Amino acid sequence: MPTDQLSLILIAIAVIGGYLLGSIPFGVIATRLGGAGDVRSIGSGNIGATNVLRTGRKDLALLTLLGDGGKGALAVFIAWSLTRTAPQGVQATLTSLAGGAAFIGHIFPVWLGFKGGKGVATFFGTLLAAAWPVGMLAGATWILMALVFRMSSLAALTAAVLAPVYVFLTDRPYPVAVLALVMAVLIFIRHKDNIGRLLKGQEPKIGGGKATSPEEPA
Residues 6+ positions from 5 with CB-CB distance below 8 Å: 90
Q: What is the pLDDT of residues 189-209, one digit of tens each?
A: 999 999 999 999 999 887 654
Task: Say if 207 falls within a structural domain.
Answer: no
Q: What is the pLDDT of residues 46-96, one digit of tens each?
A: 899 988 988 989 999 999 999 999 999 999 999 999 999 999 999 999 999
- Give me the chain's average pLDDT, please: 92
> Is residue 125 a contact partner of residue 21, using CB atoms and an 8 Å limit?
no
Task: Say if 26 falls within a structural domain.
Answer: yes
> Is residue 217 a contact partner of residue 119, using CB atoms and an 8 Å limit?
no
Of 34-38, 97-101, 173-177, 208-212, the poorest mean pLDDT is in 208-212
Task: Say if 218 falls within a structural domain.
Answer: no
Q: What is the pLDDT of residues 5-14, one digit of tens each?
A: 689 999 999 9
pTM of the model: 0.91
What three-state secondary structure class fits 170?
Answer: coil
Residues 6+ positions from 213 with CB-CB distance below 8 Å: 44, 193, 197
Task: Say if 2 falls within a structural domain.
Answer: no
Task: Say if 3 falls within a structural domain.
Answer: no
> Is residue 141 a contact partner of residue 155, using CB atoms and an 8 Å limit?
yes
Its domain, for residue 40, covers 8-200
Task: Say if 155 falls within a structural domain.
Answer: yes
Q: pLDDT-based confidence at 38, cuts 50/70/90?
A: very high
> Is residue 51 a contact partner of residue 39, using CB atoms and an 8 Å limit?
yes
Task: Say if 132 falls within a structural domain.
Answer: yes
Rounded distance, CA 126 to CA 22, Å? 10
State the average pLDDT over residues 102-124: 96
Kindly state the percentage of the chain with pLDDT values over 70.
92
Overall number of domains in the chain: 1
Rounded distance, CA 88 to CA 208, Å? 46
Instruction: Tell how many helices (H) and how many strands (E) occur in the chain.
Output: 10, 0
Task: Say if 174 falls within a structural domain.
Answer: yes
Q: Is the pLDDT at 212 greater than 60, yes or no? A: no
